[in-house]
């Protein structure tokens, strides 16, 4: 019988649990990843994540929960990190259609929408200011890609001291293997890996208790 060596030595030994004041984090749901006609678009796990994140966001906005919603774009190669990903160098520039935010998961009348330049939504962005101003202790992280910008955002969320929740069906990647592997790994260390319905139930309870 296979055993998990990490579990044996204490990894994933406890749940973090939701706190009292949540925010939803939406990472890189922009046309580059959400439009099937774009080079990165059409990934099944990402399309699934869009639909489930939209459900979570509908409840979050009704509960007046802050939503931090980011996209990635650059002025030129000069301000771009040395990505090893060809399409980023070819098209991730301000004004390119690939940088347009996904309408299914954004609401300009509610969300705080901003640009990031690194993998993490927290790195050199106003995200922490938004969360601090609203007294946030819990982040619900959604978006893409699980093995890249989602993982980086999870680690930074944890490092900033937030209770970090990751609905598995609200994040996506190009392949299921890296998606599952990275969620298993962060679930051992930094975050509770949940599902969209668990997030919705919590947000509904939050809305009721703060009505």
Are 196 and 169 a contacting pair, CB within 8 Å?
yes
User: Active-site residue among 70, 144, 149, 170?
Assistant: 149
Residue 181 Cα distances to 118, 143, 163, angstroms: 22, 16, 21
Task: Residue 82: count other Cβ atoms within 10 Å of its Cβ.
Answer: 6
d(CA 82, CA 1): 44
Encoded tokens for 160: 């900033």
d(CA 119, CA 145): 10
Q: Is 65 left (phi over 0), alpha (psi -120 to 50) or beta?
A: beta
In degrees and rounded to multiples of 5, residue 112 shows phi and psi of: -95, 105
- 149 belongs to the catalytic site: yes
Catalytically annotated residues: 149
């Amino acid at each position: 019988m296979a055993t998990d060596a990490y579990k044996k030595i204490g990894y994933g030994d406890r749940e973090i649990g939701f706190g009292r004041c949540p925010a939803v984090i939406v990472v890189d749901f922009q046309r580059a990843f959400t439009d099937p006609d774009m080079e990165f678009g059409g990934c099944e796990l990402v399309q699934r994540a869009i639909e489930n994140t939209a459900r979570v966001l509908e409840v979050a906005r009704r509960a007046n929960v802050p939503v931090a919603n980011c996209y990635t774009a650059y002025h030129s190669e000069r301000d771009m990190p040395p990505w090893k990903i060809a399409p980023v160098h070819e098209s991730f520039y301000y004004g390119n259609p690939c940088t347009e935010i996904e309408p299914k998961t954004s609401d300009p009348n509610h969300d705080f929408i901003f640009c990031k330049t690194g993998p993490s939504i927290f790195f050199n962005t106003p995200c922490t200011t938004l969360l601090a101003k609203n007294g946030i202790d819990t982040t619900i992280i959604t978006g893409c890609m699980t093995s890249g910008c989602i993982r980086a955002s999870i680690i930074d969320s944890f490092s900033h001291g937030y209770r970090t929740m990751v609905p598995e069906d609200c994040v996506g990647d190009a392949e299921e293997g890296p998606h599952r592997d990275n969620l298993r790994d962060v679930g051992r260390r930094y975050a509770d890996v949940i599902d969209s319905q668990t997030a919705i139930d919590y947000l509904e309870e939050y809305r009721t208790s703060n009505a």
